[in-house]
């Protein structure tokens, strides 16, 4: 959704005007940041004060224009170690006060340069607090960023924003997932093989498994159940990913086969929504979603509260206070967000399967939820015993 003209010197570009137009007609004026041009997407806000590289490169942000609530962005520049995938996926980037001079021992270039080089249109100088409050009150909505000297009139820009595709009903996993299978080897002694269905996986996720002696076979989003079982997996994993889970019919049907066969199963984020659907629950769009790295979640199986990383705009509609009968036995809500009681995890009581709506891989974010990878390992050990 992005068109851009690049290569302007940062100084010169910074003076170029930019305007952000929301689909309800509210506009914010600022300056060009990153690539100069036009972009459209769903406007969402992220409250993480650090970890912008991980946010930008998380494939779940495909087609979203991310508003940073932290006022200073780009302070530590861009390094070559922190990306979660091969490229920036956000459709646009909105910041208040970008760093003029980044400072960090790992920094290789400025964030402005990186965004420009990857053709990502952004805007700076925006009152991101006012914009975030607007999105919180009115909900996530479509947005356009237009930058450069020859901007169309506001009516034209608004009409273009209203023609952009909505996030509801978007089927995006295949656009971001690997086309070819690949293997992430176990670190140290290999103990298990996992088939990981890539719906938009972040690099840290297979790494967290590899650290636990798991050889991870990452498979395209279009992988069939036969392809999953061809790697002879001890467990099957379904990743995070962009888009509306209501469109994910194919992974839901693959997951049902995994549930029928009783193979240990773990899902993260989109994977949690797919487990919800596989069990017969619905999914729905949250008003403005959860995005950030300090969301309180309670693990109801232990009572413990953990501080967690989130990036989701949809959620599973499952009863919080009762065990549900499903085609695969009893299921319950294992985790809940303490801010708003949104379902943050599911577990089956009669089969080795569970999932969480948030990000235990913690890239970026606190490591409180790392135990979930150990839980997956325990399920696989239990299956062997
Ligand atoms: N990070 C994710 O997997 C997000 C899942 C889904 N696209 C949502 O927005 O809810």
Q: For ligand 1, which residues put their CB under 6 angstroms from it? A: 60, 240-243, 269-270, 311-314
Assigned token pair, 122: 């952004």
Mutation to probe ligand 1, out of 54, 200, 204 (largest number of atoms < 8 A from CB): 200
pLDDT score of 10: 53
Q: How far is the CA of 244 from the centre of ligand 1 (A)?
A: 7
| Residue nearest ligand 1's atom 3 by CA | 240
CA nearest neighbour of 238 among 210, 193, 276, 269: 269
Q: Which atom of ligand 1 is nearest to the CA of 314?
A: 10
Q: Which atom of ligand 1 is nearest to the CA of 240?
A: 3
> Among all residues, which ones are annotated catalytic?
269, 359, 361
What value of ipTM does the predicted structure carry? Answer: 0.98
Does 313 show up as a binding residue in the annotation?
yes
Assigned token pair, 99: 């760093």
What is the Cα–Cα distance from 255 to 242, expressed in whole angstroms?
18
In this prediction, residue 385 has a pLDDT band, given cuts at 50, 70 and 90, of confident
What's the pTM value of the predicted model, to 2 decimals?
0.96
Q: Do domains 3-163 and 173-384 have the same CATH topology?
A: no
In sign, the C-alpha dihedral spanning 272, 274, 277, 283 is positive
pLDDT score of 13: 56
The CB density around residue 188, as the number of other CB atoms within 10 Å, is 10
pLDDT tens profile 132-154 = 999 999 999 999 999 999 999 99
| Residue nearest ligand 1's atom 4 by CA | 312
Cβ–Cβ under 8 Å, residues 277 and 244: no
Mutation to probe ligand 1, out of 59, 308, 313, 317 (largest number of atoms < 8 A from CB): 313
With a pLDDT cut of 70, the percent of the chain lying above it is 96
Mutation to probe ligand 1, out of 89, 270, 357 (largest number of atoms < 8 A from CB): 270
Q: How far is the CA of 274 from the centre of ligand 1 (A)?
A: 10
User: Which phi and psi angles does 52 have, rounded to 5°?
Assistant: -70, -30
Q: Which atom of ligand 1 is nearest to the CA of 268?
A: 3
Q: How far is the CA of 96 from the centre of ligand 1 (A)?
A: 25
What is the Cα–Cα distance from 99 to 48, expressed in whole angstroms?
16
Does 382 show up as a binding residue in the annotation?
no
Q: How far is CA 170 from the centre of its chain?
A: 14
- Least-confidence region, from 9-23, 78-92, 228-242: 9-23
CA nearest neighbour of 111 among 59, 57, 48, 37: 57
Cβ–Cβ under 8 Å, residues 28 and 126: yes
In this prediction, residue 384 has a pLDDT band, given cuts at 50, 70 and 90, of confident
310: three-class secondary structure by DSSP? strand
Q: How far is the CA of 241 from the centre of ligand 1 (A)?
A: 5
Query: Which residue is it, tokens 């606190």?
Result: 366
Does 294 show up as a binding residue in the annotation?
no
State how far the alpha carbon of 135 is from the alpha carbons of 44, 101, 149, 151, 331, in Å: 7, 30, 28, 24, 34
pLDDT score of 50: 95
Does 376 show up as a binding residue in the annotation?
no
| Residue nearest ligand 1's atom 5 by CA | 270
Q: How far is CA 138 from the centre of its chain?
A: 22
pLDDT tens profile 300-351 = 999 999 999 999 999 999 999 999 999 999 999 999 999 999 999 999 999 9
Q: Which atom of ligand 1 is nearest to the CA of 315?
A: 10
Residue 384 CB-density burial (10 A; 0-12 exposed, 13-18 middle, 19+ buried): exposed
pLDDT at 5 over 90: no
Residue ranges covered by each domain of the chain: 3-163, 173-384
CATH number for the region 3-163 comes to 3.50.30.20
Q: How far is the CA of 68 from the centre of ligand 1 (A)?
A: 18
CATH topology of domain 173-384: Rossmann fold (3.40.50)
Cβ–Cβ under 8 Å, residues 365 and 309: yes
Q: What's the mean pLDDT when you consider all of the chain?
A: 96
Q: Which atom of ligand 1 is nearest to the CA of 199?
A: 3
The CB density around residue 381, as the number of other CB atoms within 10 Å, is 13
210: three-class secondary structure by DSSP? helix
Q: How far is the CA of 55 from the centre of ligand 1 (A)?
A: 13
pLDDT score of 14: 53
């Amino acid at each position: 959704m992005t068109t851009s003209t690049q290569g302007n010197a940062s100084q010169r570009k910074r003076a170029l005007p930019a305007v952000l137009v929301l689909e309800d007609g509210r506009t914010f004026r600022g300056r060009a940041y990153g690539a100069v041009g036009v972009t459209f997407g769903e406007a969402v806000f992220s409250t993480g004060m650090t970890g912008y590289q991980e946010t930008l490169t998380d494939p779940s942000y495909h087609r979203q224009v991310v508003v940073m609530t932290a006022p200073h962005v780009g302070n530590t520049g861009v390094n070559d170690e922190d990306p979660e995938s091969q490229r920036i996926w956000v459709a646009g980037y909105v910041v208040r006060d970008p760093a003029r001079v980044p400072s960090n021992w790992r920094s290789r270039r400025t964030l402005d340069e990186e965004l420009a080089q990857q053709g990502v249109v952004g805007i700076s100088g925006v009152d991101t607090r006012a914009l975030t409050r607007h999105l919180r009150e009115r909900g996530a909505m479509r947005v356009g960023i237009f930058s450069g000297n020859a901007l169309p009139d506001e009516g034209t820009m608004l009409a273009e924003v209203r023609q952009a595709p909505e996030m509801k009903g978007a089927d995006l996993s295949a656009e971001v997932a690997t086309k070819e299978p690949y293997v992430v080897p176990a670190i140290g002694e290999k103990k298990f093989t996992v088939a990981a269905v890539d719906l938009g996986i972040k690099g840290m996720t297979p790494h967290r498994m590899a650290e636990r002696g798991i050889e991870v076979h990452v498979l395209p989003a279009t992988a069939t159940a036969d392809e999953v079982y061809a790697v002879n997996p001890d467990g099957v994993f379904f990743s995070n990913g962009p888009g509306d889970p209501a469109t994910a019919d194919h992974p839901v049907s693959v997951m049902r086969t995994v549930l029928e066969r009783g193979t240990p199963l773990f899902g993260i984020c989109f994977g949690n929504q797919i487990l919800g659907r596989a069990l017969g629950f619905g999914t729905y769009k949250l008003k403005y979603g959860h995005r950030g790295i300090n969301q309180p979640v309670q693990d109801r199986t232990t009572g413990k509260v953990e501080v967690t990383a989130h990036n989701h705009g949809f959620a599973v509609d499952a009863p919080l206070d009762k065990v549900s009968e499903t085609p695969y036995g009893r299921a319950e809500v294992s985790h809940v967000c303490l801010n708003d009681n949104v379902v943050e995890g599911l577990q089956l009581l009669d089969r080795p399967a569970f999932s969480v709506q948030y990000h235990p891989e913690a890239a970026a974010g606190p490591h409180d939820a790392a135990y979930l990878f150990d839980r997956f390992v325990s399920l696989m050990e239990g299956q062997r015993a």
